[in-house]
């Protein structure tokens, strides 16, 4: 039998820069927004991420989509 994955949760993560650390490396932080509709398209998620980013006081450097799936032997 082949294994099948079923998506059960999607989240958006916004990545922003904290500047350079004492070691000279770039420091980043993420903010996670859970309970995104699992049927939302990438374009929808990007549009929402841009609105959320405009409400933040930091400069967002990246948008990440996180999908959680359950894999069963089906």
The mean pLDDT of 5-30, rounded to a whole number, is 93
**Model confidence over 31-59: pLDDT tens digits?**
999 999 999 999 999 999 999 999 999 98
Asked if the model's pLDDT at residue 74 lies above 90, the reply is: no
* DSSP labels, 1-54: --EEEEEEEEEEEEEEEEEE-TTS-EEEEEEEEEEE-TT--HHHHHHHHHHHHH
Q: What pLDDT, on the 0 to 100 scale, is given for residue 31?
A: 96
What is the rounded average pLDDT for all residues in the chain? 94
Q: What pLDDT, on the 0 to 100 scale, is given for residue 15?
A: 97
Q: What pTM, to 2 d.p., does this model score?
A: 0.80
Name the percent of the chain lying above pLDDT 90.
84
């Amino acid at each position: 039998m082949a294994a099948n994955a079923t998506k059960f949760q999607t989240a958006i993560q916004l990545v922003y820069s904290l500047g350079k650390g004492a070691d000279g490396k770039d420091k980043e932080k993420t903010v996670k927004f859970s309970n995104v509709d699992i049927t939302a398209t990438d374009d929808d998620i990007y549009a929402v991420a841009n609105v959320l980013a405009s409400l933040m006081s930091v400069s967002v450097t990246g948008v990440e989509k996180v999908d959680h799936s359950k894999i069963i032997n089906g």
